[in-house]
Amino acid sequence: MRLVITPATDGPMNMAIDQAIMEAVAQERVPRTLRFFAWEPACLSLGYMQPLSDSDQDRLAARGWDIVRRMTGGRAILHVDELTYSVACKAGDPLVAGSIVESYRRLSGALLHGLNILGADADANKRAKQSGGTIGPVCFEVPSRYEITFSGKKLIGSAQVRKMGAVLQHGTLPLTGDITRICDGLVFPDDQEREIARQRVASRATTLEEVLHRIISWEDAIQAMRRGFEETFDLTFEIADSLTPEELQRAEELRALRYAHDEWTGRF
């Protein structure tokens, strides 16, 4: 399996890179790939079918935050102070064989092992415990099946898409900071509703710092998660210094024509 650690970049480019890798894996131009990455500047990502109207464009601009629409489903995520991973495999690869839920369970094993290496005794329950009350536009409010939680709070959120003869799963591990900051980039009827949403997110989601009571660096988190995959799946990684020239060219095209384009971002 190829391991790629890409430099921090903006939201549209990060999503373009994920798709470029997925396409290259589908066409067997590169091996199945595990990628770790970061976001600069901070970016609000919307699920594939999430309405753009959930986001507050003025508030995003005032904070210097990007916005991008993912090719995967789910709700909004604020990508900041986190480690993000993606896994791209051909359809039928043993890592992602079976249903989406089955592959979630399998990949969650590697993520859990990485967290255990860091000292976080997390869980990935078959049927996530649903919190009562309102479900809002924030991804981290509600864990899906086999997503990773700590003491009932969501710690790693992931999403998956299957197309072009390949599978892409990407997800985020918040390392530090205020998990409720995402509410500053979303639309609410008034400040009272925004504060209620903050409290709801704080009760349902957490960060690695909150779990461990110390800050884990991005680099140390990568090393633990890499070991999680290596030891869970008995993998040997082929370390790539960068993407291939073809992947980089395709990512630039996808950024310009899709992920940084208003037509894509505002399609729903």
Band of residue 203 on the pLDDT scale cut at 50, 70, 90? very high
Give residue-wise pLDDT tens across range 94-111.
999 999 999 999 999 999
Residue labelled with tokens 């208003």? 262
Q: How far apart are CA 131 and CA 128, in angstroms?
A: 9
For the chain, how many structural domains are there in total?
Answer: 1
Instruction: Flag the least confident range among 136-140, 158-162, 196-200.
Output: 136-140
What's the DSSP call for residue 130? Answer: P
Question: What pLDDT score was predicted for residue 142?
Answer: 55
Asked if 139 is an active-site residue, the reply is: yes
Q: How far apart are CA 201 and CA 185, in angstroms?
A: 14
Number of H helices, E strands in the chain: 8, 10
pTM as predicted: 0.94
- Domain containing residue 89: CATH number: 3.30.930.10
Structural domain including 206 reads 2-265
Give residue-wise pLDDT tens across range 115-147.
999 999 999 876 544 444 455 676 565 555 678
Q: Given 43, 89, 139, 183, which residue is catalytic?
A: 139
